Structure 1
Amino acid sequence: MRILILGGTAFLSKEIASQAVAAGHDVTCLARGTTAAPPPGTEWIRADRSTGQAAYQELAGDWDAVIEVARDPKPAREALAALTGRAGHWTFVSSCSAYADNSVPGAAENAPLLPALPAGTLSTPENYGESKVAIEEATLEATHGTAHLCRAGLISGPGDPTDRYGYWPVRFARNSGPVLVPDIGGDPTQVIDVRDLAAWILRAAEEGITGPLNAMGDQVPFADIVSACRKASASQEAAVTASGDWLVEQGVNYWSGPESLPLWLPPHHEGFMARSNRAAKAAGMVLRPWQETMADTLADERARGLGRPRKAGLQPATEERLLRLLHNESGG
């Protein structure tokens, strides 16, 4: 296949490009490349999509498949206008953040979506879900409803730039004292390995699969994640639980970012990491055992440095302070 990836230099899009080359496809990546280059074996068209239609002028011929990973509706619409007439299959990597209601476990692809971001509105992290919905709508309109809308969940695995999933195996592997964890042992987590997601996107393109499909991992209780982290790192550190209310009182953040506890969700998000992935699996999406993702993530984190600055999780000094406070309040 002749495949065009609108990206190809970062995490998911780079993994798609690498797997596509390994499978023998003719792969072109259109990207600025300001921080990294596409994988070896690809043709690299250097272009800045913020320049509008001019970004696509060097692309020649037709494509068996185009893969779009954009977050901003403006360049996504411009790419659709420039390329849909030359693409046999179109994939848009959307997000489970497009759904309007995160409170219902087991929700499938027919669940209501957020309102689309109005045209001309600046796309920001705060309206990420609305931006993805706007691109979905534009994609369906331009492709006459024949695109694959890949609604991805939390993506992790080796090379994860968000530092979320990797926080937990790293924290146990550091062996720097008791580990503060939220009291959510029975709550589900749902992570898809970047390698499995890339393989699914390529398979869907090869087989001409279309429609919205939840590309999400299987549900794993948080307590099992904690146990697997201890096992994978051979850690003897104790896990000290704290209630969600207490953590909020102390200023700990949910989910991601600085001073957070990753995989811990705010109220009314019981379904955010418990969505149905049955349709995608029935269509051919294959998931490796989650323990393999955990082990490979830890190996990657060791290679990158367990003590490196992280984008998500508690700072060591913050965790130590909170553990002391929790100990004192419990009368220990």
Structure 2
Amino acid sequence: MTDVLILGGTGWLSSRIARRMLVNGATVMCLARGGRPSPEGASLALADREDPTAYDAVSGRDWDHVIDISSTAAHVEAAVAVLGERAARWTYVSSMSVYSDDTAVGADETAAVHSPAEPGDEYEYGAQKVAAENAVRGLGERALIVRPGLIVGEGDPSDRFGYWAAAFARAVDGPVLLPRTEGRDVQVIDVDDLSEFVATTRAIGVVNAIGDRHPLAEVLATVRRSTGHRGDTVMVDDEWLIENGVEYWAGERSLPLWLPADMTGFMTRTNARYRAAGGTLRPLDETVAAVIADEQERGIDRDRRAGLTRAEELELLQRRG
């Protein structure tokens, strides 16, 4: 039986990885601060990774597979230092945000990355992930570094992809505000496809785990059709959105999936190595249907971490005239 240690295991992605490992017949232990339960069938070791003794409860044995998703380099470095020699395999879930060039279309895993974060630096997500990757690289051929792009699916806590399901569903037969879509693309990976890959692949090295490239217009049309939206769509220029306080990509008062026009490489990277390593991708329609059902269940008018409220959207549409 495979003994798996997941550093985390109670969050959105890591709990899915744990459940997939359990289905595979593995024995799974999650190391987390608590507050959320571990998946049924997995054991839980309570620990705060800020504590130097965080790994004491799990460092006295060998592990067939250690999986880490932390975005704090110091946590990853400490885990590798304590547990690295006890792990037959180590998977680190990094991010496409490590890449420093967001303009080159079709870039692969050899593309340049940001400078790694140093102790005392102001927190920057991409730089932290690079430093964490560097720690894991020291494990050599026992290590896999997975770089997902935008992860989407049921329960997504970022609210980015799900914003569009909510926007079309809540409008019913009213108008929906869209950014210009010409020349823009979208790449996403379903959380269940990503967790399946992490749990089953034997790949080593670095793998971009991301979906196929789709035109933004096609993605928004798929979501609109799937929600049954019957109203108009109002497409406006980037300059007008910026002048009216709408943000790119994420956060309050934003239009998710909308990126600056010069970020041509951010959502157009190659996933050839992911495919070659056995990674699968469900049809976009299937992911969209799951997201719509999830948004309906959680409430399309709830407070969100990304996007416009309906009141903000209507005010902007009225201002646009």
Q: Into which bin does the TM-score normalised by the smaller protein fall?
A: over 0.9
Residue 173 of structure 1, CA deviation: 0.8
Question: Which stretch has the larger CA shift, 212-221 or 144-153?
Answer: 144-153
Residue 185 of structure 1, CA deviation: 4.3
Distance 2:210 2:280 in 1: 10
Distance 1:268 1:203 in 2: 36
Query: Which residue in the other structure is 2:185 paired with?
Result: 188
Residue 121 of structure 1, CA deviation: 2.7
Letter in 2 for 1:258: E
Query: Which residue in the other structure is 1:84 paired with?
Result: 84
Query: Which residue in the other structure is 2:106 paired with?
Result: 106
Letter in 2 for 1:162: S
Q: Do structure 1's residue 231 and structure 2's residue 225 form an aligned pair?
A: yes
Q: What do the CA deviations read for 1:288-318 (whole angstroms, capped 9, x no partner)?
A: 0111111001111111111111110012221
Query: Which residue in the other structure is 1:148 paired with?
Result: 144
Distance 1:75 1:193 in 2: 26
> What pairs with 1:178-217 in structure 2 (closer than 5 Å)?
178-204=175-201, 207=202, 209-217=203-211
Residue 280 of structure 1, CA deviation: 1.1
Q: Do structure 1's residue 221 and structure 2's residue 185 form an aligned pair?
A: no
For structure 2, list consecutive stretches of 5 or more residues without a partner in the other structure: none
Partner of 1:310, secondary structure, is: coil
Residue 267 of structure 1, CA deviation: 3.6
Q: How many residues of Structure 1 are paired with residues of Structure 2 in the alignment?
A: 318
Letter in 2 for 1:304: R
Residue 227 of structure 1, CA deviation: 1.3
Query: Which residue in the other structure is 1:30 paired with?
Result: 31
Q: What do the CA deviations read for 1:137-172 (whole angstroms, capped 9, x no partner)?
A: 11112x035410101100010010000000001111
Letter in 2 for 1:66: V
Normalised by the size of structure 1, how large is the TM-score?
0.93
Query: Which residue in the other structure is 2:166 paired with?
Result: 170
Residue 25 and residue 145 in structure 1: after superposition, are their counterparts in 2 closer, same or farther (change >3 A)?
closer
Question: Which stretch has the larger CA shift, 263-272 or 152-161?
Answer: 263-272
Letter in 2 for 1:31: A
Distance 2:234 2:117 in 1: 41
Q: Percent identity?
A: 43
Partner of 2:171, secondary structure, is: coil
Q: 1:186, 1:223 within 8 Å by CA — same for their partners in 2?
A: no
Q: What do the CA deviations read for 1:162-190 (whole angstroms, capped 9, x no partner)?
A: 00000001111112520000011441101
> What pairs with 1:309-324 in structure 2 (closer than 5 Å)?
309-324=303-318
Q: What do the CA deviations read for 1:272-300 (whole angstroms, capped 9, x no partner)?
A: 01100011111110110111111001111
Partner of 1:149, secondary structure, is: strand
Q: What do the CA deviations read for 1:202-238 (whole angstroms, capped 9, x no partner)?
A: 112xx2x210110001111111112111221111021
Q: 1:31, 1:46 within 8 Å by CA — same for their partners in 2?
A: yes
Partner of 1:311, secondary structure, is: coil
Q: 2:13, 2:195 within 8 Å by CA — same for their partners in 1?
A: yes
Normalised by the size of structure 2, how large is the TM-score?
0.96
Q: 1:98, 1:113 within 8 Å by CA — same for their partners in 2?
A: yes
Superposition misfits of 4+ residues, deviation over 6 angstroms = none
For structure 1, list consecutive stretches of 5 or more residues without a partner in the other structure: 328-332
Q: 2:171, 2:231 within 8 Å by CA — same for their partners in 1?
A: yes
Distance 1:234 1:48 in 2: 46
Two-structure CA RMSD over aligned residues (Å): 1.2
Query: Which residue in the other structure is 1:137 paired with?
Result: 134
Distance 1:234 1:33 in 2: 41
Distance 1:23 1:146 in 2: 20
Partner of 1:55, secondary structure, is: coil
